[in-house]
Chains A and B, each alone.
Chain A
Amino acid sequence: MFVPTGETPPSFKSYTFILPAVSVGNVGQLATDLIISTLQLPKVGYFHTDALIPMVGNNPYATSAENANELSTNAEVYSSKELKLAVLQIRAPILQTKTKEFRKSIVSWMKSSGFSKTVLLSSSHAYQRDDQQLQGTPLRFLLSPTLQEGASARIKELGWREMEKVCAFPGISDSEKKLYIPGGGVTRALYNDCCNEDVPMAVLLTFCSEGDNIPDAFALANYLNDWLHLLSTPAEASPQWNAPASWKLLFGSGIPPAIF
Protein backbone atom coordinates (compact mmCIF):
# COMPACT_ATOMS: atom_id res chain seq x y z
CA MET A 1 0.00 0.00 0.00
CA PHE A 2 1.22 3.51 -0.83
CA VAL A 3 2.16 5.66 2.20
CA PRO A 4 3.05 9.28 1.39
CA THR A 5 6.05 10.93 3.05
CA GLY A 6 4.18 14.20 3.51
CA GLU A 7 0.87 15.04 5.12
CA THR A 8 -1.01 15.30 1.81
CA PRO A 9 -0.90 12.37 -0.59
CA PRO A 10 0.37 13.53 -4.02
CA SER A 11 -1.86 13.27 -7.08
CA PHE A 12 -0.55 11.08 -9.92
CA LYS A 13 -3.43 11.62 -12.33
CA SER A 14 -2.21 11.38 -15.96
CA TYR A 15 1.36 10.75 -14.87
CA THR A 16 3.58 8.19 -16.57
CA PHE A 17 4.52 5.45 -14.12
CA ILE A 18 7.80 3.58 -14.37
CA LEU A 19 8.64 0.52 -12.31
CA PRO A 20 11.21 -2.27 -12.56
CA ALA A 21 10.71 -6.01 -12.42
CA VAL A 22 13.15 -7.87 -10.18
CA SER A 23 14.66 -9.85 -13.03
CA VAL A 24 17.91 -11.39 -14.25
CA GLY A 25 20.88 -9.10 -13.72
CA ASN A 26 18.64 -6.63 -11.83
CA VAL A 27 18.71 -4.59 -15.04
CA GLY A 28 15.28 -3.00 -14.56
CA GLN A 29 16.22 -1.86 -11.07
CA LEU A 30 19.60 -0.50 -12.21
CA ALA A 31 17.92 1.41 -15.05
CA THR A 32 15.41 2.82 -12.54
CA ASP A 33 18.31 3.92 -10.35
CA LEU A 34 19.72 5.83 -13.33
CA ILE A 35 16.40 7.57 -13.95
CA ILE A 36 15.92 8.62 -10.32
CA SER A 37 19.53 9.64 -9.82
CA THR A 38 19.88 11.64 -13.07
CA LEU A 39 16.55 13.44 -12.84
CA GLN A 40 17.06 13.91 -9.05
CA LEU A 41 13.48 12.93 -8.39
CA PRO A 42 12.32 13.67 -4.85
CA LYS A 43 10.89 10.85 -2.76
CA VAL A 44 7.13 11.15 -2.29
CA GLY A 45 6.22 7.92 -0.52
CA TYR A 46 6.75 4.27 0.33
CA PHE A 47 5.16 1.13 -1.05
CA HIS A 48 4.70 -0.66 2.27
CA THR A 49 4.02 -4.35 1.64
CA ASP A 50 4.62 -7.74 3.23
CA ALA A 51 5.37 -9.17 -0.23
CA LEU A 52 8.94 -7.88 -0.35
CA ILE A 53 11.88 -9.01 1.77
CA PRO A 54 12.66 -6.16 4.20
CA MET A 55 15.84 -4.14 3.74
CA VAL A 56 16.96 -0.61 4.60
CA GLY A 57 19.98 1.52 3.96
CA ASN A 58 20.88 5.13 3.82
CA ASN A 59 20.16 7.40 0.87
CA PRO A 60 21.43 5.74 -2.35
CA TYR A 61 21.03 8.99 -4.29
CA ALA A 62 22.92 11.17 -1.81
CA THR A 63 24.29 14.39 -3.26
CA SER A 64 25.68 15.93 -0.05
CA ALA A 65 26.57 15.10 3.55
CA GLU A 66 23.21 16.56 4.66
CA ASN A 67 21.05 14.12 2.74
CA ALA A 68 23.41 11.13 2.88
CA ASN A 69 21.91 9.61 6.03
CA GLU A 70 18.24 9.69 5.10
CA LEU A 71 16.79 6.22 5.49
CA SER A 72 15.70 4.32 2.38
CA THR A 73 13.41 1.28 2.42
CA ASN A 74 12.82 -1.64 0.06
CA ALA A 75 10.17 0.05 -2.12
CA GLU A 76 9.91 3.80 -2.55
CA VAL A 77 8.07 6.13 -4.92
CA TYR A 78 9.77 9.14 -6.48
CA SER A 79 7.99 11.72 -8.58
CA SER A 80 8.30 14.89 -10.66
CA LYS A 81 5.39 17.28 -11.16
CA GLU A 82 7.14 19.00 -14.09
CA LEU A 83 7.75 15.76 -15.98
CA LYS A 84 4.44 14.22 -14.84
CA LEU A 85 6.44 11.19 -13.90
CA ALA A 86 6.21 8.73 -11.00
CA VAL A 87 8.84 6.05 -10.43
CA LEU A 88 8.68 3.09 -8.05
CA GLN A 89 12.05 1.61 -7.12
CA ILE A 90 12.03 -1.94 -5.75
CA ARG A 91 15.19 -2.93 -3.90
CA ALA A 92 14.45 -6.42 -2.63
CA PRO A 93 13.20 -9.74 -4.04
CA ILE A 94 9.49 -10.55 -3.98
CA LEU A 95 8.63 -13.42 -1.62
CA GLN A 96 7.81 -16.49 -3.71
CA THR A 97 4.58 -17.14 -1.82
CA LYS A 98 3.35 -13.57 -2.26
CA THR A 99 3.87 -12.78 -5.95
CA LYS A 100 0.14 -12.89 -6.68
CA GLU A 101 -0.70 -10.48 -3.81
CA PHE A 102 2.10 -8.19 -4.90
CA ARG A 103 0.86 -8.01 -8.48
CA LYS A 104 -2.67 -7.43 -7.26
CA SER A 105 -1.64 -4.56 -4.99
CA ILE A 106 0.48 -2.94 -7.71
CA VAL A 107 -2.26 -3.15 -10.35
CA SER A 108 -4.85 -1.88 -7.88
CA TRP A 109 -2.65 1.10 -7.00
CA MET A 110 -1.94 1.79 -10.68
CA LYS A 111 -5.66 1.92 -11.40
CA SER A 112 -6.58 4.08 -8.42
CA SER A 113 -3.75 6.54 -9.13
CA GLY A 114 -4.98 7.22 -12.66
CA PHE A 115 -1.64 6.86 -14.44
CA SER A 116 -1.88 7.57 -18.17
CA LYS A 117 0.51 4.70 -18.86
CA THR A 118 2.85 2.33 -17.04
CA VAL A 119 6.28 1.24 -18.22
CA LEU A 120 7.75 -1.96 -16.76
CA LEU A 121 11.53 -2.25 -17.14
CA SER A 122 12.70 -5.84 -17.21
CA SER A 123 15.15 -8.39 -18.57
CA SER A 124 15.25 -12.01 -19.69
CA HIS A 125 17.89 -14.75 -19.78
CA ALA A 126 20.10 -14.31 -22.84
CA TYR A 127 20.92 -18.02 -22.95
CA GLN A 128 17.28 -18.89 -23.64
CA ARG A 129 17.14 -16.99 -26.94
CA ASP A 130 16.31 -18.93 -30.07
CA ASP A 131 18.27 -18.64 -33.33
CA GLN A 132 16.32 -15.62 -34.55
CA GLN A 133 16.65 -13.74 -31.29
CA LEU A 134 20.44 -14.15 -31.33
CA GLN A 135 20.58 -11.73 -34.27
CA GLY A 136 20.26 -7.99 -33.93
CA THR A 137 19.31 -5.92 -30.91
CA PRO A 138 18.70 -7.59 -27.52
CA LEU A 139 16.04 -4.99 -26.67
CA ARG A 140 12.35 -5.88 -26.90
CA PHE A 141 8.97 -4.34 -26.12
CA LEU A 142 5.40 -5.39 -25.35
CA LEU A 143 2.27 -3.24 -25.32
CA SER A 144 -0.98 -4.08 -23.57
CA PRO A 145 -4.07 -3.73 -25.82
CA THR A 146 -5.14 -0.50 -24.12
CA LEU A 147 -1.83 1.16 -24.96
CA GLN A 148 -1.62 -0.13 -28.56
CA GLU A 149 -3.58 2.77 -29.96
CA GLY A 150 -1.65 5.45 -28.13
CA ALA A 151 1.88 4.16 -28.57
CA SER A 152 2.20 1.78 -31.53
CA ALA A 153 2.72 4.53 -34.12
CA ARG A 154 5.71 5.96 -32.26
CA ILE A 155 7.08 2.47 -31.50
CA LYS A 156 6.86 1.65 -35.23
CA GLU A 157 8.76 4.83 -36.07
CA LEU A 158 11.50 3.80 -33.66
CA GLY A 159 11.72 0.41 -35.37
CA TRP A 160 11.55 -1.59 -32.14
CA ARG A 161 11.23 -5.39 -32.04
CA GLU A 162 8.26 -6.90 -30.27
CA MET A 163 9.03 -9.74 -27.85
CA GLU A 164 8.52 -12.94 -29.84
CA LYS A 165 6.10 -15.61 -28.68
CA VAL A 166 7.42 -19.16 -28.48
CA CYS A 167 5.76 -22.47 -29.24
CA ALA A 168 3.96 -23.93 -26.24
CA PHE A 169 5.60 -27.28 -27.13
CA PRO A 170 9.17 -26.70 -28.34
CA GLY A 171 9.95 -28.55 -31.55
CA ILE A 172 6.33 -28.68 -32.71
CA SER A 173 6.16 -25.61 -34.89
CA ASP A 174 2.40 -25.57 -35.43
CA SER A 175 1.55 -25.67 -31.73
CA GLU A 176 -0.01 -22.73 -29.95
CA LYS A 177 2.30 -19.74 -29.34
CA LYS A 178 2.70 -18.26 -25.89
CA LEU A 179 4.63 -15.47 -24.23
CA TYR A 180 7.72 -16.71 -22.41
CA ILE A 181 10.02 -14.40 -20.45
CA PRO A 182 12.50 -16.63 -18.58
CA GLY A 183 14.30 -14.78 -15.81
CA GLY A 184 11.79 -11.96 -15.99
CA GLY A 185 10.36 -12.48 -12.51
CA VAL A 186 6.78 -11.17 -12.40
CA THR A 187 7.04 -9.52 -15.85
CA ARG A 188 4.90 -11.95 -17.80
CA ALA A 189 2.27 -12.33 -15.08
CA LEU A 190 2.06 -8.57 -14.45
CA TYR A 191 1.79 -7.89 -18.17
CA ASN A 192 -1.03 -10.45 -18.45
CA ASP A 193 -2.80 -8.90 -15.44
CA CYS A 194 -2.64 -5.47 -17.10
CA CYS A 195 -3.94 -6.88 -20.39
CA ASN A 196 -6.86 -8.50 -18.58
CA GLU A 197 -7.67 -5.40 -16.55
CA ASP A 198 -7.36 -2.85 -19.37
CA VAL A 199 -4.38 -1.11 -17.80
CA PRO A 200 -2.18 0.69 -20.36
CA MET A 201 1.22 -0.95 -19.89
CA ALA A 202 4.39 -1.18 -21.90
CA VAL A 203 7.13 -3.65 -21.08
CA LEU A 204 10.67 -2.72 -22.14
CA LEU A 205 13.14 -5.52 -21.68
CA THR A 206 16.58 -6.64 -22.67
CA PHE A 207 18.18 -10.06 -23.01
CA CYS A 208 21.14 -10.32 -20.68
CA SER A 209 23.22 -12.64 -18.54
CA GLU A 210 24.18 -12.20 -14.88
CA GLY A 211 27.44 -10.38 -14.32
CA ASP A 212 28.33 -6.73 -14.68
CA ASN A 213 24.96 -5.50 -15.84
CA ILE A 214 25.69 -1.79 -15.78
CA PRO A 215 26.05 -1.58 -19.59
CA ASP A 216 22.68 -3.39 -19.90
CA ALA A 217 21.13 -0.83 -17.55
CA PHE A 218 22.44 2.05 -19.62
CA ALA A 219 21.16 0.42 -22.81
CA LEU A 220 17.69 -0.08 -21.32
CA ALA A 221 17.58 3.47 -19.98
CA ASN A 222 18.57 4.83 -23.42
CA TYR A 223 15.88 2.62 -25.02
CA LEU A 224 13.28 4.13 -22.68
CA ASN A 225 14.59 7.63 -23.31
CA ASP A 226 14.28 7.20 -27.09
CA TRP A 227 10.55 6.87 -26.53
CA LEU A 228 9.77 9.10 -23.55
CA HIS A 229 12.53 11.73 -23.91
CA LEU A 230 13.05 12.02 -20.15
CA LEU A 231 16.46 13.55 -20.78
CA SER A 232 16.93 16.16 -23.43
CA THR A 233 19.90 15.17 -25.56
CA PRO A 234 21.65 16.99 -28.39
CA ALA A 235 21.28 15.19 -31.75
CA GLU A 236 23.64 12.24 -32.35
CA ALA A 237 24.80 12.24 -28.70
CA SER A 238 23.93 9.68 -26.00
CA PRO A 239 21.98 10.81 -22.93
CA GLN A 240 24.19 11.59 -19.93
CA TRP A 241 22.99 9.38 -17.08
CA ASN A 242 24.39 9.85 -13.56
CA ALA A 243 25.18 6.64 -11.71
CA PRO A 244 24.10 6.89 -8.05
CA ALA A 245 26.48 6.72 -5.06
CA SER A 246 25.13 3.26 -4.19
CA TRP A 247 26.77 1.68 -7.26
CA LYS A 248 30.16 1.55 -5.54
CA LEU A 249 31.81 -1.76 -4.69
CA LEU A 250 29.31 -3.86 -6.68
CA PHE A 251 31.74 -6.77 -6.70
CA GLY A 252 32.94 -6.65 -3.11
CA SER A 253 35.27 -4.80 -0.79
CA GLY A 254 38.85 -3.72 -1.33
CA ILE A 255 41.46 -6.45 -1.57
CA PRO A 256 43.32 -7.35 1.66
CA PRO A 257 47.01 -6.47 1.18
CA ALA A 258 48.00 -9.53 3.24
CA ILE A 259 47.20 -11.89 0.36
CA PHE A 260 50.14 -10.56 -1.67
Chain B
Amino acid sequence: MATFFGEVLSVYSRAVEEDDRDDEDGENEEDVEIRRELEEKRKVHLKWCSEECQAIEENSDKKRLCSHLVIAVGTNAAGFVSAFILNSASWHRVGWLSVWNERSRGSGPMPAPPAPGEPGCVIYQQKDDDSVLICQCTCYVAEDQLFQWTEQLFMCLQKRGLTVTVLSDVPVAEYKTPDYIHGSDVPFLRALSTSAYKGGVICPFVEQPNIVTGLPAAVLCHCQVHGIPAVLYQNYSDVIGADSYTMEAYRLAVSSTKGIKLDPPSTDVLQEFTKVSDIHGNLYT
Protein backbone atom coordinates (compact mmCIF):
# COMPACT_ATOMS: atom_id res chain seq x y z
CA MET B 1 0.00 0.00 0.00
CA ALA B 2 1.34 3.46 -0.91
CA THR B 3 1.44 6.03 1.87
CA PHE B 4 1.13 9.81 1.68
CA PHE B 5 4.94 10.15 1.84
CA GLY B 6 5.51 7.83 -1.10
CA GLU B 7 6.65 4.73 0.78
CA VAL B 8 5.18 1.35 -0.06
CA LEU B 9 4.25 -0.61 3.05
CA SER B 10 2.92 -4.12 3.51
CA VAL B 11 -0.65 -4.27 4.66
CA TYR B 12 -1.57 -6.80 7.30
CA SER B 13 -5.10 -7.94 7.87
CA ARG B 14 -6.28 -9.25 11.25
CA ALA B 15 -8.58 -11.62 9.35
CA VAL B 16 -6.61 -13.16 6.48
CA GLU B 17 -3.11 -14.01 5.43
CA GLU B 18 -1.46 -11.92 2.69
CA ASP B 19 -1.23 -14.50 -0.08
CA ASP B 20 -4.13 -15.73 -2.10
CA ARG B 21 -2.23 -18.51 -3.82
CA ASP B 22 -3.86 -21.28 -5.77
CA ASP B 23 -4.14 -24.46 -3.76
CA GLU B 24 -1.38 -26.97 -4.32
CA ASP B 25 -0.74 -25.76 -7.86
CA GLY B 26 2.94 -25.91 -8.64
CA GLU B 27 3.70 -28.08 -5.59
CA ASN B 28 6.04 -30.84 -6.58
CA GLU B 29 6.17 -34.37 -5.20
CA GLU B 30 8.98 -33.54 -2.78
CA ASP B 31 6.96 -30.68 -1.23
CA VAL B 32 3.94 -32.94 -0.90
CA GLU B 33 6.07 -35.61 0.79
CA ILE B 34 7.64 -33.11 3.21
CA ARG B 35 4.21 -31.77 4.06
CA ARG B 36 2.86 -35.26 4.63
CA GLU B 37 5.80 -36.18 6.91
CA LEU B 38 5.33 -33.02 8.93
CA GLU B 39 1.62 -33.76 9.33
CA GLU B 40 2.48 -37.25 10.52
CA LYS B 41 4.92 -35.88 13.14
CA ARG B 42 2.32 -33.40 14.37
CA LYS B 43 -0.35 -36.03 14.96
CA VAL B 44 -1.54 -36.28 18.55
CA HIS B 45 -1.57 -39.75 20.11
CA LEU B 46 -3.13 -40.87 23.38
CA LYS B 47 -1.14 -43.62 25.11
CA TRP B 48 -2.42 -45.52 28.11
CA CYS B 49 -0.26 -47.52 30.54
CA SER B 50 -0.47 -51.26 30.06
CA GLU B 51 -2.94 -51.97 32.92
CA GLU B 52 -5.20 -49.22 31.68
CA CYS B 53 -5.02 -50.58 28.10
CA GLN B 54 -6.09 -53.96 29.38
CA ALA B 55 -9.00 -52.54 31.38
CA ILE B 56 -10.25 -50.60 28.32
CA GLU B 57 -9.99 -53.69 26.10
CA GLU B 58 -12.19 -55.58 28.53
CA ASN B 59 -15.06 -53.08 28.14
CA SER B 60 -17.53 -54.00 25.41
CA ASP B 61 -17.34 -50.60 23.68
CA LYS B 62 -13.54 -50.29 24.25
CA LYS B 63 -14.08 -47.04 26.14
CA ARG B 64 -13.10 -46.08 29.65
CA LEU B 65 -15.78 -45.31 32.22
CA CYS B 66 -15.28 -41.97 33.94
CA SER B 67 -17.63 -39.87 36.05
CA HIS B 68 -15.46 -36.78 36.19
CA LEU B 69 -12.63 -35.49 34.02
CA VAL B 70 -10.64 -32.50 35.25
CA ILE B 71 -8.36 -30.82 32.69
CA ALA B 72 -5.80 -28.32 33.99
CA VAL B 73 -4.26 -26.05 31.34
CA GLY B 74 -1.48 -23.62 32.16
CA THR B 75 1.21 -23.20 34.80
CA ASN B 76 -1.00 -22.23 37.71
CA ALA B 77 -3.83 -24.63 36.94
CA ALA B 78 -1.31 -27.47 36.65
CA GLY B 79 0.50 -26.22 39.75
CA PHE B 80 -2.76 -26.15 41.72
CA VAL B 81 -3.56 -29.72 40.70
CA SER B 82 -0.03 -30.88 41.58
CA ALA B 83 0.12 -29.11 44.95
CA PHE B 84 -3.44 -29.56 46.18
CA ILE B 85 -4.52 -32.89 44.67
CA LEU B 86 -1.78 -35.03 43.13
CA ASN B 87 0.64 -34.47 45.99
CA SER B 88 -0.99 -37.28 47.93
CA ALA B 89 0.32 -40.77 47.24
CA SER B 90 -3.02 -42.08 46.07
CA TRP B 91 -2.73 -40.68 42.52
CA HIS B 92 -0.70 -42.33 39.78
CA ARG B 93 -0.11 -41.78 36.08
CA VAL B 94 -2.28 -43.86 33.78
CA GLY B 95 -1.69 -42.26 30.40
CA TRP B 96 -0.34 -39.33 28.43
CA LEU B 97 -0.91 -37.47 25.17
CA SER B 98 2.04 -37.27 22.84
CA VAL B 99 2.14 -33.82 21.23
CA TRP B 100 4.96 -32.56 19.02
CA ASN B 101 5.11 -29.15 17.35
CA GLU B 102 7.49 -26.28 16.58
CA ARG B 103 7.80 -25.40 20.29
CA SER B 104 8.65 -28.91 21.46
CA ARG B 105 12.15 -30.07 22.25
CA GLY B 106 13.70 -32.64 19.94
CA SER B 107 13.13 -33.22 16.26
CA GLY B 108 10.14 -35.49 16.64
CA PRO B 109 7.56 -37.00 18.99
CA MET B 110 9.02 -38.67 22.13
CA PRO B 111 8.21 -42.35 22.55
CA ALA B 112 8.23 -42.14 26.38
CA PRO B 113 5.99 -40.12 28.70
CA PRO B 114 7.36 -36.75 29.85
CA ALA B 115 9.57 -36.81 32.94
CA PRO B 116 8.32 -34.98 36.07
CA GLY B 117 8.83 -31.25 35.52
CA GLU B 118 8.96 -31.62 31.71
CA PRO B 119 6.16 -30.05 29.68
CA GLY B 120 3.54 -32.54 28.57
CA CYS B 121 -0.04 -33.73 28.91
CA VAL B 122 -0.32 -36.44 31.56
CA ILE B 123 -3.41 -38.26 32.82
CA TYR B 124 -3.72 -39.32 36.47
CA GLN B 125 -6.13 -41.53 38.37
CA GLN B 126 -6.50 -42.54 42.02
CA LYS B 127 -5.31 -46.03 42.92
CA ASP B 128 -8.48 -46.96 44.79
CA ASP B 129 -11.05 -44.99 42.76
CA ASP B 130 -10.94 -44.96 38.96
CA SER B 131 -14.02 -42.79 38.47
CA VAL B 132 -12.08 -39.51 38.33
CA LEU B 133 -9.36 -38.65 35.83
CA ILE B 134 -7.13 -35.59 35.95
CA CYS B 135 -5.34 -34.41 32.81
CA GLN B 136 -2.54 -31.94 33.49
CA CYS B 137 -1.44 -30.06 30.39
CA THR B 138 1.74 -27.98 30.63
CA CYS B 139 2.95 -28.09 27.03
CA TYR B 140 2.00 -25.95 24.06
CA VAL B 141 -0.71 -27.47 21.85
CA ALA B 142 -0.71 -25.73 18.45
CA GLU B 143 -3.89 -24.38 16.87
CA ASP B 144 -4.02 -27.16 14.28
CA GLN B 145 -3.62 -29.83 16.98
CA LEU B 146 -6.33 -28.64 19.39
CA PHE B 147 -9.22 -30.44 17.67
CA GLN B 148 -7.20 -33.66 17.35
CA TRP B 149 -6.07 -33.51 21.00
CA THR B 150 -9.67 -33.27 22.15
CA GLU B 151 -10.93 -36.00 19.83
CA GLN B 152 -8.14 -38.37 20.90
CA LEU B 153 -8.96 -37.89 24.59
CA PHE B 154 -12.75 -38.09 24.38
CA MET B 155 -12.70 -40.98 21.90
CA CYS B 156 -11.53 -43.22 24.76
CA LEU B 157 -14.07 -42.06 27.32
CA GLN B 158 -17.67 -43.14 27.69
CA LYS B 159 -19.96 -40.14 27.24
CA ARG B 160 -22.67 -41.43 29.58
CA GLY B 161 -22.37 -40.04 33.11
CA LEU B 162 -19.32 -37.94 32.26
CA THR B 163 -18.86 -34.40 33.57
CA VAL B 164 -15.87 -32.28 32.60
CA THR B 165 -14.23 -29.44 34.51
CA VAL B 166 -11.55 -27.35 32.82
CA LEU B 167 -9.20 -25.09 34.78
CA SER B 168 -7.27 -22.58 32.72
CA ASP B 169 -4.87 -19.67 33.26
CA VAL B 170 -5.33 -16.52 31.22
CA PRO B 171 -3.44 -13.21 31.38
CA VAL B 172 -5.68 -10.44 32.75
CA ALA B 173 -4.44 -8.21 29.90
CA GLU B 174 -6.73 -10.22 27.60
CA TYR B 175 -9.80 -9.41 29.69
CA LYS B 176 -11.98 -6.73 28.14
CA THR B 177 -14.05 -4.58 30.43
CA PRO B 178 -15.33 -1.01 30.28
CA ASP B 179 -13.87 -0.33 33.75
CA TYR B 180 -10.21 -0.46 34.62
CA ILE B 181 -9.18 -3.52 36.68
CA HIS B 182 -7.20 -2.64 39.77
CA GLY B 183 -4.37 -4.85 40.94
CA SER B 184 -6.25 -5.83 44.09
CA ASP B 185 -9.06 -7.40 42.06
CA VAL B 186 -6.69 -9.89 40.44
CA PRO B 187 -6.69 -12.94 40.25
CA PHE B 188 -10.37 -13.58 39.57
CA LEU B 189 -12.36 -16.44 38.08
CA ARG B 190 -14.89 -16.41 35.28
CA ALA B 191 -16.94 -19.41 34.14
CA LEU B 192 -18.46 -20.81 30.96
CA SER B 193 -20.55 -23.96 30.75
CA THR B 194 -22.18 -26.14 28.13
CA SER B 195 -25.98 -26.36 27.77
CA ALA B 196 -25.94 -29.87 29.25
CA TYR B 197 -24.25 -28.67 32.46
CA LYS B 198 -26.87 -28.19 35.13
CA GLY B 199 -24.64 -27.68 38.16
CA GLY B 200 -24.02 -24.23 39.60
CA VAL B 201 -20.89 -22.17 39.06
CA ILE B 202 -18.86 -20.55 41.82
CA CYS B 203 -18.15 -17.27 40.04
CA PRO B 204 -19.74 -14.97 37.45
CA PHE B 205 -19.91 -16.08 33.83
CA VAL B 206 -17.51 -14.67 31.24
CA GLU B 207 -18.97 -11.35 30.13
CA GLN B 208 -19.29 -10.20 26.53
CA PRO B 209 -17.20 -9.48 24.53
CA ASN B 210 -14.63 -11.81 26.12
CA ILE B 211 -13.96 -15.13 24.43
CA VAL B 212 -12.04 -18.30 25.23
CA THR B 213 -9.45 -19.80 22.90
CA GLY B 214 -6.92 -22.65 22.94
CA LEU B 215 -7.35 -26.01 24.60
CA PRO B 216 -10.20 -24.94 26.92
CA ALA B 217 -12.15 -23.73 23.86
CA ALA B 218 -11.54 -26.96 21.96
CA VAL B 219 -12.74 -29.05 24.94
CA LEU B 220 -15.83 -26.92 25.51
CA CYS B 221 -16.68 -26.93 21.79
CA HIS B 222 -16.50 -30.72 21.73
CA CYS B 223 -18.61 -31.07 24.89
CA GLN B 224 -21.24 -28.62 23.64
CA VAL B 225 -21.63 -30.37 20.30
CA HIS B 226 -21.75 -33.84 21.90
CA GLY B 227 -24.06 -32.85 24.78
CA ILE B 228 -21.51 -33.51 27.56
CA PRO B 229 -21.92 -31.44 30.75
CA ALA B 230 -18.79 -29.30 31.08
CA VAL B 231 -17.73 -26.19 32.95
CA LEU B 232 -14.67 -24.03 32.41
CA TYR B 233 -13.08 -21.81 35.05
CA GLN B 234 -10.76 -19.19 33.57
CA ASN B 235 -8.36 -17.69 36.10
CA TYR B 236 -7.40 -14.17 35.04
CA SER B 237 -4.07 -13.29 36.59
CA ASP B 238 -1.34 -10.68 36.15
CA VAL B 239 1.47 -13.13 36.97
CA ILE B 240 3.24 -14.99 34.18
CA GLY B 241 4.81 -17.74 36.28
CA ALA B 242 3.62 -20.08 39.00
CA ASP B 243 2.13 -18.17 41.93
CA SER B 244 0.53 -19.66 45.06
CA TYR B 245 -2.10 -16.92 45.34
CA THR B 246 -3.25 -17.57 41.75
CA MET B 247 -3.31 -21.32 42.37
CA GLU B 248 -5.47 -20.86 45.48
CA ALA B 249 -8.17 -19.21 43.32
CA TYR B 250 -8.98 -22.65 41.86
CA ARG B 251 -9.83 -24.22 45.23
CA LEU B 252 -13.52 -23.46 45.18
CA ALA B 253 -13.83 -24.68 41.58
CA VAL B 254 -13.08 -28.30 42.52
CA SER B 255 -13.86 -28.38 46.24
CA SER B 256 -17.28 -29.96 45.67
CA THR B 257 -16.17 -32.47 43.01
CA LYS B 258 -16.98 -35.99 44.19
CA GLY B 259 -13.93 -38.19 44.21
CA ILE B 260 -11.40 -35.37 44.61
CA LYS B 261 -9.98 -34.63 48.04
CA LEU B 262 -8.17 -31.34 48.34
CA ASP B 263 -5.04 -31.57 50.47
CA PRO B 264 -3.79 -28.04 51.19
CA PRO B 265 0.00 -28.26 50.99
CA SER B 266 2.46 -26.96 53.53
CA THR B 267 4.43 -23.80 52.72
CA ASP B 268 7.54 -25.84 51.84
CA VAL B 269 5.63 -27.97 49.37
CA LEU B 270 3.97 -24.91 47.83
CA GLN B 271 7.36 -23.23 47.45
CA GLU B 272 8.57 -26.22 45.44
CA PHE B 273 5.88 -25.56 42.86
CA THR B 274 6.40 -21.80 42.71
CA LYS B 275 10.18 -21.54 42.92
CA VAL B 276 10.59 -21.64 39.09
CA SER B 277 9.61 -17.99 38.95
CA ASP B 278 12.26 -16.86 41.47
CA ILE B 279 14.67 -14.30 40.14
CA HIS B 280 18.04 -16.04 39.90
CA GLY B 281 20.00 -13.05 38.92
CA ASN B 282 19.50 -9.63 37.44
CA LEU B 283 21.38 -6.42 36.87
CA TYR B 284 20.99 -5.40 40.51
CA THR B 285 22.28 -8.47 42.35
Residues of A at the B interface (CB closer than 8 Å) are: 3, 22-26, 46, 48, 50, 53-58, 60, 62, 68-71, 73-74, 93, 95-100, 125, 127, 180-185, 188-189, 209-210, 245-250, 252-258
Question: Do B16 and A185 touch across chains, with their CB atoms under 8 A apart?
Answer: yes
Collect the chain B residues with CB atoms within 8 Å of residue A22's CB: 15-16
Question: Do A50 and B148 touch across chains, with their CB atoms under 8 A apart?
Answer: yes
Collect the chain A residues with CB atoms within 8 Å of residue B209's CB: 57, 60, 245-250
| In the bound complex, CA of A180 to CA of B179 (Å) | 44
Residue of A nearest to B213 (CB): A55
Question: Do B178 and A54 touch across chains, with their CB atoms under 8 A apart?
Answer: no
User: Can you list 18 contacts pairing A with B, beta carbon distance less than 8 Å?
Assistant: A50-B151, A55-B221, A56-B211, A56-B217, A56-B220, A57-B192, A57-B209, A57-B212, A73-B220, A125-B11, A183-B16, A184-B20, A185-B15, A188-B20, A249-B177, A249-B209, A252-B176, A254-B178
Closest-CB distance, A242 to chain B (whole angstroms): 15
Collect the chain B residues with CB atoms within 8 Å of residue A56's CB: 192, 211-212, 216-217, 220-221, 224
Question: Do A96 and B17 touch across chains, with their CB atoms under 8 A apart?
Answer: yes
Task: Contacts A25-B13, A71-B193, A183-B16 given; indicate if A53 touches B213 (C-beta within 8 A).
Answer: yes
Q: Contact string, B10-38, partner A, CB cutoff 8 A, digits 1/0?
A: 01111111001001100000000000000
Collect the chain A residues with CB atoms within 8 Å of residue B213's CB: 53-55
Comparing B97-105, B139-147, B261-269, the segment that makes contact with chain A is B139-147
Of A23, A57, A60, A69, which contacts B16 at CB under 8 A?
A23
Chain B interface size, under 10 / 10 to 19 / 20 to 34 / 35 or more: 35 or more
Closest-CB distance, A163 to chain B (whole angstroms): 14
| In the bound complex, CA of A228 to CA of B224 (Å) | 33
Closest-CB distance, B161 to chain A (whole angstroms): 20
Of B17, B144, B177, B221, which contacts A253 at CB under 8 A?
B177
Question: Do B143 and A95 touch across chains, with their CB atoms under 8 A apart?
Answer: yes
The 4 lowest CB-CB distance pairs between A and B, nearest first, are A50-B147, A54-B218, A57-B211, A127-B1
| In the bound complex, CA of A25 to CA of B16 (Å) | 9
B284 interface hit (Cβ, 8 Å): no
Dominant SS among interface residues on chain A: loop
Question: Do A60 and B208 touch across chains, with their CB atoms under 8 A apart?
Answer: yes
Question: Do B206 and A57 touch across chains, with their CB atoms under 8 A apart?
Answer: yes
Question: Do A58 and B208 touch across chains, with their CB atoms under 8 A apart?
Answer: yes
Of A23, A95, A189, which contacts B15 at CB under 8 A?
A23
| In the bound complex, CA of A182 to CA of B13 (Å) | 11
Q: Contact string, B39-59, partner A, CB cutoff 8 A, digits 1/0?
A: 100000000000000000000
Residues of B at the A interface (CB closer than 8 Å) are: 1-2, 11-17, 20, 23-24, 39, 143-144, 146-148, 150-151, 175-181, 192-195, 205-214, 216-218, 220-221, 224-225
Of A24, A183, A249, which contacts B178 at CB under 8 A?
A249
Closest-CB distance, B41 to chain A (whole angstroms): 13
Question: Do A54 and B15 touch across chains, with their CB atoms under 8 A apart?
Answer: no
Question: Do B11 and A54 touch across chains, with their CB atoms under 8 A apart?
Answer: no
Question: Do A73 and B221 touch across chains, with their CB atoms under 8 A apart?
Answer: yes
| In the bound complex, CA of A249 to CA of B211 (Å) | 12
Residue of B nearest to A248 (CB): B209
| In the bound complex, CA of A25 to CA of B15 (Å) | 6
Residue of B nearest to A255 (CB): B180
Closest-CB distance, A205 to chain B (whole angstroms): 13
| In the bound complex, CA of A55 to CA of B213 (Å) | 5
Question: Do B195 and A70 touch across chains, with their CB atoms under 8 A apart?
Answer: yes
Closest-CB distance, B55 to chain A (whole angstroms): 29
Question: Do A254 and B194 touch across chains, with their CB atoms under 8 A apart?
Answer: no
Question: Do A253 and B175 touch across chains, with their CB atoms under 8 A apart?
Answer: yes
Residue of A nearest to B218 (CB): A54
| In the bound complex, CA of A249 to CA of B15 (Å) | 18
Residue of B nearest to A52 (CB): B147
Collect the chain B residues with CB atoms within 8 Å of residue A25's CB: 13, 15
| In the bound complex, CA of A182 to CA of B143 (Å) | 24
Residue of A nearest to B190 (CB): A58
Of B143, B179, B208, which contacts A254 at CB under 8 A?
B179
Question: Do B208 and A100 touch across chains, with their CB atoms under 8 A apart?
Answer: no
| In the bound complex, CA of A97 to CA of B42 (Å) | 13
| In the bound complex, CA of A238 to CA of B181 (Å) | 39
| In the bound complex, CA of A117 to CA of B144 (Å) | 32
Closest-CB distance, A140 to chain B (whole angstroms): 16
Collect the chain B residues with CB atoms within 8 Å of residue A95's CB: 143-144
